[in-house]
Amino acid sequence: MSVGLRIGIGYDAHRFAPGRDLVLGGVNIPFEHGLLGHSDADVLSHALMDALLGAARAKDIGHHFPDTDEAFAGASSIMLLEKVAAIVRGQGFEIVDADCVLQLEKPKIARFREEMRAQLAHAMGVPLERVGLKATTTEGLGFVGRQEGVAAQAVVLLESTSTGSTGE
């Protein structure tokens, strides 16, 4: 018996680096450091992409957008998220819901939260109410607590759009 529902979880972390923009959820956040990565290093979008790909059993972002490919150097992670949403739909799934958590001590992102949700929802082609976003600190613990970088987690729910489709 095929249920037609899939859950995926994603995680990403990047260290801070001088001379780069801080991009989270497709939004440029004013801050003294950005995140180090091959693309724009948007940890929130990366965690969400891996959650989507995992739920669709479509490998991971490293497979689709390898950091050894210069075509993705400095790439917009929101643009990559659009491509991932298309892959998921191509596998026969609808994005039902996504919930995300940013882990960072600084900067505070409350004033950017709704803009990030809107960017993520738009990139995935879903209504805003299908995207949750929270932020938390780690109470000074670990690399996030030492303000060395940012981490993000995401969980998604997909539903099959075709009878009997498993997406594999």
* String of DSSP letters for 27-61: EEE--S-EE-SSS---HHHHHHHHHHHHHTT---H
pLDDT in tens, the chain (168 residues): 457 999 999 999 999 999 999 999 999 999 999 999 999 999 999 999 999 999 999 998 888 887 887 887 878 999 999 999 999 999 999 999 999 999 999 999 999 999 999 999 999 999 999 999 999 999 999 999 999 999 999 999 999 987 554 444
pLDDT of 165 reads 44
**Separation CA 150–CA 160 (nearest Å):** 33
Measure the CA angle with vertex 81, ends 78 and 85; round to 5°: 145
Task: Note if the bond before 107 is cis, omega within 30 degrees.
Answer: yes
pLDDT of 167 reads 47
Residue 18 CA to chain centroid, in angstroms?
22
Q: If 0-12 CB within 10 Å is exposed, 13-18 middle and 19+ buried, where does residue 40 land?
A: buried
- If you search the block for the tokens 């960017």, which residue do you land on? 119
pLDDT of 153 reads 98
pLDDT of 2 reads 59
pLDDT of 163 reads 57
Domain ranges of the chain: 5-160
Residues 6+ apart with CB under 8 A from 3: none
pLDDT of 62 reads 83
Architecture of domain 5-160: 2-Layer Sandwich (3.30)
pLDDT of 102 reads 98
Measure the CA angle with vertex 97, ends 93 and 102; round to 5°: 125
Residue 9 half-sphere exposure toward CB, CA atoms < 13 A: 3
- If you search the block for the tokens 């009997």, which residue do you land on? 164
At residue 146, what are phi and psi to the nearest 5 degrees?
-80, 0
